[in-house]
Every structure is written in C-alpha cells, then in structure tokens.
Amino acid sequence: MKSTEQVIKELKQEKAELSEKVVKLENFLSDKTKTDLVGALQVRLMQHQLECMIEYVTVLNNRIYVLELTR
C-alpha cells in the first residue's frame, strides 16, 4: 500500500496535468477562429468536457486537502 505522502504527490501531479489541459481547452474555446472550424456541436461537447474537468480538479483538491489534514 502506498504511503499518504506518495498518494498526495501523485494526486498533486494529476491535478497539475489536468489543470494544464483545462487551460488549453479554455484557450481553445475562447478562440472563435478555432471554434468555428469544429462546429457548434463539438463546441458544446467541449464546453461540457471542460465543466467536468473543472469539477474533477475540485475533487482532486478536496482529496489532497483531506489527506494533508490526516497525515
């Protein structure tokens, strides 16, 4: 079984990687030239994807917070 420190480290890494992807998707969605190329349906789906990704970042933050409290 992994130590709490290792789990926290891995969660922070996962959060950092996901946060980077969130920024990239936000940048893409804010560029009308690019969004016009993919079409309205893809944009709506990517907006939903972005919402889910942000929610996942929140969950990771909460997990890290709780683990840091209990170590």
Sequence ranges of the domains in the chain = 4-70
Identify the pLDDT of residue 61: 98
Cα–Cα nearest to 47, from 32, 31, 25, 21: 25
**27, pLDDT greater than 90:** yes
Of the candidates 68, 69, 70, the one whose C-alpha atom is nearest the C-alpha of residue 8 is 68
Residue 71 has pLDDT above 90, yes or no: no
Span 35-51, pLDDT tens digits: 999 999 999 999 999 99
As a whole number, mean pLDDT of residues 26-36 equals 98
Averaged pLDDT for residues 11-24: 98
- Residue 69: the pLDDT is 96
pTM recorded for the entire structure = 0.93
| Helix (H), strand (E) at residue 60 | helix 40-70
